[in-house]
């Protein structure tokens, strides 16, 4: 008896990145990284050593290609990890360890697993936090070599035709690789949250993404067609012709919308009644600057400088930082570029900084961001000198992360002024004025907004952390996603308090967290008087289209209405109804 072909298997996950995609399921999985006890070396140790040597050569070729491709698409900062992995693949501790295991009668695979795990354990046991962090990189390199030896699947060999990548989770090197793969139309994962760095990367690449999916073999069959809706988090596996036809109609509409948005990128970003809002881009390297302009952005609200520090044993020196900042400022001139000082710690692991800070029981509440810079002024001064020197080449704004007290701002400003005077004495040209602002991302900063506004030139709300700290919710934990709510009444009150404090002191107030690119939130941000919203460049045209349909009196009336609501879900429903009524 033949089993009838299944159709329209609908699965619901967590939306990571918006968009629609159709493709065949590309199920990527690896052979378990464990010893099997398989033979081979005992009878032919020379052959096993030769296999391992060829695997290393192949791994180095892959890593060099990945380094170059990533440098071209995502910048040198993200490419650095692949350079570090090349060094590790050639490290005598690894190479000699595997050779020794083979000579003792193990297969190349088993010798590699044993050596890698032994090295990983040794590094994890070291007292130096930086070297402890290298354990994850050693495992990444070992797994790459193991994949080559076993012939298992990997992202570098994904098909060029349309595919939906289905993978349990991604290593840092895998996530960066997505930017170089033209055949990937969407990503389906078991792990990951909407404010994770992986989700942010997907948005910047304009790839739909969904997490929290049960990637069982009976549900995700390689080669089977699936539909991905990154807006709703819905996946349809083996869609019927009728479902597929309706979905393709939606995809065609999506493309028409994109074409329409592209045609309107030069339109002023303002409401129907003439209220202007700056729509800016978030970038992680100078290479991203052109994407902001291409999307119709009129500035950068967040340059994440921590990416310059990642994947390296020492921090970038003054000259390297100066070149990066100058490149971004020159590319965007005369538009403003807001460069955030080093924001390391929490979910932004920078090995060098980890070595300075040491192990902490709770890194999110520990020595991170501005706290590290103030405790290590030499590190901070180097960055400030590079920023001050770069200020002569464009419209620079310097932004301090994780401010919680007035004294932090005053101390940072003192250092900035000292460095500026020092650079001028040494003959470096600098801007006449360098605006200094802060990120509002902890409740204390929002509560003290009226006082802090007297000390700075602008505010930018980092909603990802503000929501996390206000609601005591780890935004990286997928089990807590129902508690992580941008529309929670407490969060909205803090947004209002911040805007009021800024207005009273006459300073600009903006937003650079993920909420800035959420069209559902836009009417409330207009009502509260946010001057600029900074987001993934790909989101700028979409937010602009929504902005053009709004008028400020209606937005203010909506804000008055939602203030009386008691839950984020009720507020969200009201915002959705408002969006529908305005023609979305």
| Residue that has been written with the tokens 């020492």 in this structure | 314
Residue 42 is predicted with a pLDDT of 61
Structure tokens at 65: 């290609």
CA-nearest of 200, 152, 151, 155 to 180 is: 155
Neighbours of 421 (CB within 10 A): 12
Beta bridge partners, 25, equal 164
Q: Give Cα separations from 552 to 236, 455, 525 (angstroms).
A: 39, 29, 10
- Cα gap 307→284, rounded to integer Å: 6
Q: Give Cα separations from 264 to 269, 291, 551 (angstroms).
A: 10, 16, 19
265: left (phi over 0), alpha (psi -120 to 50) or beta: alpha
- Strand 225-229 and strand 234-237: the pairing is antiparallel
What are the DSSP calls for 33-53, one per residue?
SS-----STTT-HHHHHHHHH
- Cα gap 15→337, rounded to integer Å: 30
Residue 15 is predicted with a pLDDT of 85
Three-state SS sequence of 200-260? HHHHHHCCCEEECCCCCCCCCCCCCEEEEECCCCEEEECCCHHHHHHHHHHHHHHHHHHHH
Helix (H, G, I), strand (E, B) or coil at 428: coil
- Alpha carbon of residue 242 to chain centroid: 36
8 Å CB contact between 529 and 503: yes
8 Å CB contact between 366 and 360: yes
Residue 82 is predicted with a pLDDT of 78
Q: Phi first, then psi: give them for residue 267, nearest 5 degrees.
A: -70, 140
Q: Phi first, then psi: give them for residue 459, nearest 5 degrees.
A: -115, 150
Helix and strand numbers, DSSP H then E, in the chain: 22, 16
The residues assigned a catalytic role are 197, 512
CA-nearest of 523, 570, 562 to 543 is: 523
| Total residues belonging to the chain | 584
Helix (H, G, I), strand (E, B) or coil at 494: helix
Q: Phi first, then psi: give them for residue 560, nearest 5 degrees.
A: -60, -35
Per-residue model confidence as pLDDT tens for the chain (584 residues): 344 456 788 888 888 888 899 999 888 765 667 787 765 556 788 888 898 999 999 888 888 877 777 676 656 656 777 778 888 888 888 888 899 888 888 888 889 999 998 888 887 776 655 566 567 678 888 888 888 888 765 666 666 678 888 887 765 456 556 666 678 888 888 877 776 666 777 777 788 988 888 888 788 888 889 999 988 889 999 999 999 999 999 999 888 888 888 887 888 999 999 999 999 999 888 888 888 999 999 999 999 998 788 766 678 899 999 999 999 999 999 999 999 999 987 666 676 777 777 777 788 888 889 999 999 999 999 999 999 999 999 999 999 999 999 999 999 999 999 999 999 999 999 999 999 999 999 999 999 999 999 999 999 999 999 999 999 988 777 678 789 899 999 999 999 999 999 999 999 999 998 899 999 999 999 999 999 999 988 889 999 999 999 999 999 999 999 998 999 999 999 999 999 888 75
Residue 244 is predicted with a pLDDT of 92
Compute the chain's Rg from CA coordinates: 25
CA-nearest of 390, 392, 345 to 371 is: 345
Q: Phi first, then psi: give them for residue 364, nearest 5 degrees.
A: -65, -25
């Amino acid at each position: 008896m033949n089993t009838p072909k299944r159709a329209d298997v609908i699965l619901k996950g967590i939306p990571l990145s918006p968009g629609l995609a159709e493709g065949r399921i590309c199920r990527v999985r690896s052979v378990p990284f464990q010893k099997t006890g398989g033979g081979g070396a005992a009878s032919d140790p020379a052959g096993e050593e030769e296999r391992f040597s060829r695997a290393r050569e192949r791994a180095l070729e892959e890593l060099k290609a990945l380094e170059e491709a990533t440098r071209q698409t995502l910048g040198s900062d993200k490419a650095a990890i692949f350079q570090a992995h090349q060094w590790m693949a050639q490290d005598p501790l690894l190479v000699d360890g595997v050779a020794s295991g083979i000579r003792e009668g193990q297969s190349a695979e088993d010798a590699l697993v044993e050596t890698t795990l032994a090295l990983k354990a040794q590094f994890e046991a070291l007292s130096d936090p930086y070297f402890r962090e290298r354990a994850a990189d050693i495992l990444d390199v070992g797994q790459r070599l193991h994949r080559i030896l076993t012939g298992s699947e990997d992202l570098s060999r994904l098909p060029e035709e349309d595919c939906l990548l289905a993978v349990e989770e991604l290593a840092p090197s895998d996530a960066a690789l997505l930017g170089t793969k033209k055949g990937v139309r969407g990503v389906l994962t078991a792990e990951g949250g909407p404010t994770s760095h992986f989700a942010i990367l997907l948005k910047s690449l304009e790839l739909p993404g969904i997490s929290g999916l049960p990637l069982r073999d009976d549900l995700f069959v390689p080669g089977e067609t699936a539909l991905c809706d990154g807006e709703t988090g819905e996946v349809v596996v083996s869609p019927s012709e009728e479902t597929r036809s309706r979905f393709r109609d939606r995809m065609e509409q999506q493309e028409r919308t994109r074409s329409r948005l592209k045609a309107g990128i030069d339109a002023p970003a303002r409401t129907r009644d003439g209220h202007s809002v700056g729509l800016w881009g978030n970038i992680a390297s100078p290479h991203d600057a052109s994407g902001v302009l291409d999307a119709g952005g009129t500035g950068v609200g967040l340059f994440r400088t921590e990416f310059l520090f990642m994947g390296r044993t020492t921090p970038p020196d003054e000259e390297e930082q100066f070149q990066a900042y100058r490149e971004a400022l020159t590319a965007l001139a005369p538009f403003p570029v807001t460069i955030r000082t080093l924001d390391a710690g929490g979910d932004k692991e920078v090995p060098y900084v980890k070595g300075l800070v040491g192990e902490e029981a709770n890194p999110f509440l520990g020595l991170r961001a501005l706290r590290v810079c103030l405790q290590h002024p030499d590190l901070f001064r180097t960055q400030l000198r590079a920023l001050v020197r770069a200020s002569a080449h464009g419209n620079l704004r310097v932004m301090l992360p994780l401010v919680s007290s007035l004294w932090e701002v005053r101390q940072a400003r003192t250092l900035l002024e000292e460095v500026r005077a020092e650079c001028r004495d040494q003959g470096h040209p600098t801007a006449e004025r360098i605006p200094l602002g802060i990120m509002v991302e902890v409740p204390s900063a929002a509560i003290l907004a009226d006082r802090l506004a007297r000390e700075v030139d602008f505010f930018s709300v980092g909603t990802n952390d503000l929501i996390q700290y206000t609601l005591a919710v780890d935004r990286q934990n997928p089990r807590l996603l129902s508690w992580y709510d941008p529309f929670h009444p407490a969060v909205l009150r803090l947004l209002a308090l911040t805007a009021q404090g800024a207005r009273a002191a006459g300073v600009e107030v903006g937003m650079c967290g993920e909420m800035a690119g959420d069209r559902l939130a836009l009417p409330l941000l207009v009502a509260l008087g946010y001057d600029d919203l900074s987001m993934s460049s790909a989101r700028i045209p979409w937010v602009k289209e929504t902005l053009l349909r709004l008028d400020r009196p209606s937005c203010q009336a909506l804000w008055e209405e939602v203030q009386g609501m008691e839950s984020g879900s009720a507020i969200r429903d009201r915002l959705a109804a408002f969006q529908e009524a305005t023609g979305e």
